[in-house]
Chains A and B, each alone.
Chain A
Amino acid sequence: MDEAGCGGCQVISAEQRSSKHWELTGEGCEIAEQGSHEARVFSSIPDEGMPQGQLMKLAFGKVGFSKAMSNKWIRLDKGHEGGPRVFRTVENIEDSVRDKLLVVQKGQSSQLEEKEKSELKKRKLLSEVTVKSYWITKGSLFSTTITKQETELTPEMIASGSWKEKKFKPYNFEAMGVAPDCGHLHPLMKVRTQFRQIFLEMGFTEMPTNNFIESSFWNFDSLFQPQQHPARDQHDTFFLSDPAQAHEFPLDYLERVRKVHSEGGFGSQGYKYDWKIEEAQKNILRTHTTAVSARMLYKLAQKEKFTPVKYFSIDRVFRNETLDATHLAEFHQIEGVVADYGLTLGDLMGILHQFFTKLGITKLRFKPAYNPYTEPSMEVFSYHEGLKKWVEVGNSGVFRPEMLLPMGLPEGVTVIAWGLSLERPTMIKYGINNIRELVGHKVNLQMVYDSPVCRLDA
């Protein structure tokens, strides 16, 4: 039921009805009256036949001729003296086309089969007509006087009180509203804000990661990452040509790092290779924010008395890797670090459990992994309900003594840490498969405009 007068005012109500019936076309009417073209051709031909040329001159000649031929009512003698001549081949004919049309004309189209009707429709003799009609009845607010409906409330109506007498045009609540004229935050940055919030809630202090360019020393050597490690390859790391080298290091610490790599010490055999300062001096775009963690832990170790710390950072890191749908040359690394006396592997797993619970992830598993600066090293997996499998969500580990002791941290202090990328959870959260649709200048701004608020635990 539609409500007439649009919307809900119900002066009258109207029901739409539609019906279909068959009607003769102009040509159909002519045939009903005078017979089909082929019948008219037949009857025009006398017993002695008729020259084809003459037949074709008749109005119905062309169409009638071919139909009559295919009905085998007539024949054409091409070799006849004086030109091609047409003769009758049968005595009587039955003009079924006309008969059928007459049936329709009488309003008895239902007697014909659908196939016959569509055949006639194809010959443009019949057409199907749909008639729409409305069945009108009085509505609930039926009135015989007409009042003009107001579209909107105006200040004048409020002042005069005239709104009380007015009728207002109803709103169409099916339509969308007008989008507010406002700016939008980028979805990846919204997720970053949430991760920051989580760390702050857990009592972690933010590290100063605003130094994209780092020396190999802080990025690798201080982390006990040997100088021939594949990560230090041209294929994996962006090296700088200008400024190519770092020139200031805490020299006594640098010496302890050289020694632990090349000769061992602090309970370690070391890697036993020829450690070169030239390698350590090479400037790079940092490959992980752990370079900053190393600087912070070194700074912590220089304090007179050790105080426990919890640090975090979320910032860009750079890899000279092969790019694909999920890898870019730069991405954001999320990192958490805790330094205190007597921390255990169980503590690391416990704190990861708390951290991931805040992200709405409660099922965690840990898998052994290898990382040059943590021992043990564990990959963190979480069970993804949507994908129905365990997916890697981060990396974690306990910093090696060969990294911590040369810095000057007390022997009993353990440092646990974990890291993950910001992009990956964001892509999973927003259902984005190609990282280029999320990060960089090629993103579709509509995606930014349309992105919802970020609640990681929801």
Chain B
Amino acid sequence: MPTVSVKRDLLFHALGRTYSKKCYVFVYKCACSKHPFSNPVIQTSEKDIISREQGDTKAEGASDVILYKIDVPANRYDLLCLEGLVRGLQVFKEKMEAPRYRRVSPTSGEPQRLVITEETAAVRPHAVAAVLRNITFTQERYDSFIELQEKLHQNVCRKRTLVAIGTHDLDTISGPFTYTAKPPDDIRFTPLNQAQEYTATELMNLYKTDSHLRHYLHIIEDKPVYPVIYDSNGIVLSMPPIINGDHSKISLNTKNVFIECTATDLTKAKIVLDMMVTMFCEYCEEPFTKETLSGDFINRKVGISESTERIAQLLTKMCLRSEVMSDGEQIEVEIPPTRSDVIHACDIMEDAAMAYGFNNIIRTTPRTYTVANQLPLNKLTELLRQDLAAAGFTEALTFALCSQEDIADKLLKNISDTRACHIANPKTAEFQVARTTLLPGLLKTLAANRKMPLPLRLFEISDVVLKDETKDVGAKNNRRLCAVYYNKSPGFEVIHGLMDRVMQLLEVKPGRDEGYHIQAAQDSSFFPGRCAEIFAHGKSIGRLGVLHPDVISRFELTMPCSALDIDIEPFL
């Protein structure tokens, strides 16, 4: 959930009144509707923040103006700045009507044009633009404008990958503008806040060490051509999504702002442009969309029984101007361009529920009649767990992800023989593969508990993951039972006894064909001559034996250890 910070006094000024200490709860309650508890709004100051993050000494001299940090739902881009928040609050309090936006042609001449050339298809194919005219910036408005741009970049723009915003002083440049793409060495301009010209290649090097901009370089770095916007005189406006030109930078004195959004996703580009424009405008180009729905629909979905008029009123409070139509049943709802999150009648229904207040809705019990069933595999697992604990073994709970080393090298196996599923993007070696056996987890649990009195008896019944061509995803889980006995003597007879007990619990009798039996087997993880394969109903279900001394030492253990590892799915 994004957080917006606004200066308290500015917020009060914009709301036209001040509030007592409790007010921030109220502010939030209105902004994102009902939330009369917890404190999503945190009162703080720049000084507090710096001192918390960097220590008191750095915080000296920082501003101690009170800030409110307000959580905003991730799809409500229209609440990401002071202007949007205030508008939402005022409309909710019915102190202001939901705004209507309209597009206005410039008083003199033609609208500005942005021409998109074919070359951009290779790197960043979409662009949209708009002009804000006769704007008066104050320091606060300017800061809010920059901050909204940054918030949008971080959220809906997905760190500039989907959309990048450039803002320019229109009076320093002249249209029509061209959005094109060129090889990096052919682009040359003076970037924002620099004194000299660089080529795009030089710029990419320059910004490699820039703490802010280096995060965006990867978006175009390996492309043959870089996107660039020129004005009619060949002045570079920007090289999206990296940097603007210095020539057209906006300042407090800027009167007319040219906003361009370049994108890989056209829908998102339009949302972003709408946000930039509607939050700071008198003018906008986007017409309204209208939805009609019935009051009954809202009542049925929310579980309330309000009149159609009341529902229209609730929606209007949420900036969705609504009117009851002549039949008295249907409601016509205007969706402003700021509300890109509204794409279905259910989104309108949610706004009505929020305006009504979730916590005011009467809680009811559905009359859905059903009979409960356990998943047979989980039922068996639950029953076996109880009896394994009764047999003196303690349950471990280990991770399903581990390193390749855990399931291969440390068990003296080859990774290619494991049928392991490999993770493409692990942040550390701990998450390289999904486990193919429960044994490494149990051995690591032993290693972490070497100080505990011996013997240690552990078990786990859980899933491992194996590649399986017959499944739609090419892999399947397999429910395993694994147990270890760790003591000064290997205790093969103990682990063997446990296996006999498990078979007894599963109603499998000793015997060759229909029963179970074990026979000597070769397995590199086990001490030679001390490993047996377990057969039940004529099928191999797993192994038991004394672990190989090298396995023991690779898991940083020092005592002999015997282990049991079986598949319990055949017993369903």
Residues of A at the B interface (CB closer than 8 Å) are: 181-186, 188-189, 193, 196, 199-208, 210-215, 228, 230, 234, 238-249, 264, 267-273, 283, 285, 308-310, 316, 318, 320, 328-330, 338, 340, 342-347, 349-351, 353-354, 365-370, 375-378, 381, 389-390, 398, 400-402, 414, 439-446, 448-449
Contact of B431 among A193, A320, A378 (CB under 8 A): A320
Write out the residue numbers on chain A whose beta carbons fall within 8 Å of the beta carbon of B332.
none
Distance to closest chain B CB from A273 (angstroms): 6
Given contacts A264-B343, A441-B398, whether A346 and B377 have CB atoms under 8 Å apart is no
Contact of B301 among A203, A318, A414 (CB under 8 A): A414
Write out the residue numbers on chain B whose beta carbons fall within 8 Å of the beta carbon of A183.
388-395, 457, 459
Write out the residue numbers on chain A whose beta carbons fall within 8 Å of the beta carbon of B372.
199-206, 310
Contact of B358 among A201, A343, A378 (CB under 8 A): A378
Complex CA gap A50/B444 in Å reads: 82
- Are B32 and A368 in contact, CB atoms less than 8 angstroms apart? yes
Write out the residue numbers on chain A whose beta carbons fall within 8 Å of the beta carbon of B195.
none
Distance to closest chain A CB from B526 (angstroms): 21
Contact of B423 among A228, A239, A269, A316 (CB under 8 A): A239
- Are B477 and A445 in contact, CB atoms less than 8 angstroms apart? no
Distance to closest chain A CB from B438 (angstroms): 11
- Are A269 and B343 in contact, CB atoms less than 8 angstroms apart? yes
- Are A347 and B423 in contact, CB atoms less than 8 angstroms apart? no
- Are B445 and A445 in contact, CB atoms less than 8 angstroms apart? yes
Distance to closest chain A CB from B290 (angstroms): 13
Residue of B nearest to A342 (CB): B300
Complex CA gap A79/B158 in Å reads: 96
Complex CA gap A340/B359 in Å reads: 23
Residue of A nearest to B392 (CB): A183
Complex CA gap A343/B303 in Å reads: 8
Write out the residue numbers on chain B whose beta carbons fall within 8 Å of the beta carbon of A193.
382
- Are B359 and A366 in contact, CB atoms less than 8 angstroms apart? yes
Residue of B nearest to A233 (CB): B158
- Are B441 and A344 in contact, CB atoms less than 8 angstroms apart? no
Q: Could you jot down 18 A-B contacts, CB within 8 Å?
A: A183-B389, A183-B391, A183-B459, A196-B382, A205-B372, A211-B473, A211-B477, A213-B465, A215-B472, A238-B423, A240-B475, A268-B344, A344-B364, A353-B363, A365-B37, A375-B347, A414-B301, A441-B399
- Are A189 and B303 in contact, CB atoms less than 8 angstroms apart? no
Write out the residue numbers on chain A whose beta carbons fall within 8 Å of the beta carbon of B363.
346, 349-350, 353
Residue of A nearest to B393 (CB): A183
Apart from A213-B474, A243-B421, A340-B366, what are 17 other A-B pairs with CB-CB below 8 Å?
A184-B394, A202-B372, A213-B473, A228-B162, A238-B425, A310-B372, A330-B400, A345-B361, A351-B365, A366-B358, A366-B359, A370-B74, A381-B37, A400-B344, A441-B448, A445-B394, A445-B452
Write out the residue numbers on chain A whose beta carbons fall within 8 Å of the beta carbon of B426.
238, 320
Complex CA gap A449/B162 in Å reads: 52
Q: Which stretch (B46-54, B116-124, B242-250, B349-357) binds chain A?
A: B349-357
Residue of A nearest to B264 (CB): A228
- Are A370 and B364 in contact, CB atoms less than 8 angstroms apart? no
- Are A240 and B344 in contact, CB atoms less than 8 angstroms apart? no
- Are B422 and A240 in contact, CB atoms less than 8 angstroms apart? yes
Write out the residue numbers on chain B whose beta carbons fall within 8 Å of the beta carbon of A199.
372
Write out the residue numbers on chain A whose beta carbons fall within 8 Å of the beta carbon of B38.
367, 381, 389-390
- Are A439 and B472 in contact, CB atoms less than 8 angstroms apart? no
- Are B374 and A329 in contact, CB atoms less than 8 angstroms apart? no
- Are B370 and A204 in contact, CB atoms less than 8 angstroms apart? yes
Given contacts A206-B373, A270-B343, A389-B38, whether A347 and B366 have CB atoms under 8 Å apart is yes
Write out the residue numbers on chain A whose beta carbons fall within 8 Å of the beta carbon of B266.
272-273
B18 within 8 A of A: no
B302 within 8 A of A: yes
Write out the residue numbers on chain B whose beta carbons fall within 8 Å of the beta carbon of A204.
370, 372
B139 within 8 A of A: no
Write out the residue numbers on chain A whose beta carbons fall within 8 Å of the beta carbon of B463.
210, 212, 316
Write out the residue numbers on chain B whose beta carbons fall within 8 Å of the beta carbon of A249.
472
- Are A211 and B344 in contact, CB atoms less than 8 angstroms apart? no
B517 within 8 A of A: no
- Are A271 and B267 in contact, CB atoms less than 8 angstroms apart? yes
Complex CA gap A189/B421 in Å reads: 26
Write out the residue numbers on chain B whose beta carbons fall within 8 Å of the beta carbon of A269.
343-344
- Are A182 and B343 in contact, CB atoms less than 8 angstroms apart? no
Given contacts A206-B375, A239-B423, A240-B424, whether A214 and B397 have CB atoms under 8 Å apart is no
1/0 per residue, CB under 8 A from A, across B409-446: the answer is 00000000000011111110011001000000110110
How many residues of chain B have a CB within 8 Å of chain A?
A: 102
- Are B364 and A350 in contact, CB atoms less than 8 angstroms apart? yes
B304 within 8 A of A: yes
- Are A271 and B343 in contact, CB atoms less than 8 angstroms apart? yes
Contact of B345 among A186, A267, A309, A443 (CB under 8 A): A267
Contact of B370 among A203, A211, A344, A390 (CB under 8 A): A203
Complex CA gap A310/B366 in Å reads: 11
Write out the residue numbers on chain A whose beta carbons fall within 8 Å of the beta carbon of B76.
370
Distance to closest chain B CB from A342 (angstroms): 7
- Are B350 and A442 in contact, CB atoms less than 8 angstroms apart? no
Write out the residue numbers on chain B whose beta carbons fall within 8 Å of the beta carbon of A245.
474
Write out the residue numbers on chain A whose beta carbons fall within 8 Å of the beta carbon of B421.
213, 240, 242-243
- Are A349 and B358 in contact, CB atoms less than 8 angstroms apart? yes
1/0 per residue, CB under 8 A from A, across B31-46: the answer is 0111111101000000
B553 within 8 A of A: no
B73 within 8 A of A: yes
Write out the residue numbers on chain A whose beta carbons fall within 8 Å of the beta carbon of B442.
441
Contact of B422 among A202, A241, A247, A446 (CB under 8 A): A241
- Are B366 and A351 in contact, CB atoms less than 8 angstroms apart? yes
Write out the residue numbers on chain A whose beta carbons fall within 8 Å of the beta carbon of B422.
240-242
Complex CA gap A285/B432 in Å reads: 12
- Are B397 and A439 in contact, CB atoms less than 8 angstroms apart? yes
Write out the residue numbers on chain A whose beta carbons fall within 8 Å of the beta carbon of B456.
445
- Are A346 and B375 in contact, CB atoms less than 8 angstroms apart? no
- Are A186 and B397 in contact, CB atoms less than 8 angstroms apart? yes
Residue of A nearest to B457 (CB): A183
B153 within 8 A of A: no
Given contacts A185-B385, A185-B389, A285-B434, whether A443 and B472 have CB atoms under 8 Å apart is no
Write out the residue numbers on chain B whose beta carbons fall within 8 Å of the beta carbon of A340.
366, 368
Output the residue of B375, B441, B471 with the most chain A CB within 10 A. B375
Distance to closest chain A CB from B230 (angstroms): 28
- Are B302 and A346 in contact, CB atoms less than 8 angstroms apart? yes
Write out the residue numbers on chain A whose beta carbons fall within 8 Å of the beta carbon of B344.
267-269, 375, 400-402
- Are A350 and B267 in contact, CB atoms less than 8 angstroms apart? no
Given contacts A283-B474, A402-B344, whether A344 and B303 have CB atoms under 8 Å apart is yes
B268 within 8 A of A: yes
- Are B350 and A376 in contact, CB atoms less than 8 angstroms apart? yes
Output the residue of A206, A208, A210, A248 with the most chain B CB within 10 A. A210
Distance to closest chain B CB from A249 (angstroms): 7
Residue of A nearest to B460 (CB): A186
1/0 per residue, CB under 8 A from A, across B1-14: the answer is 10000000000000
Complex CA gap A244/B479 in Å reads: 23
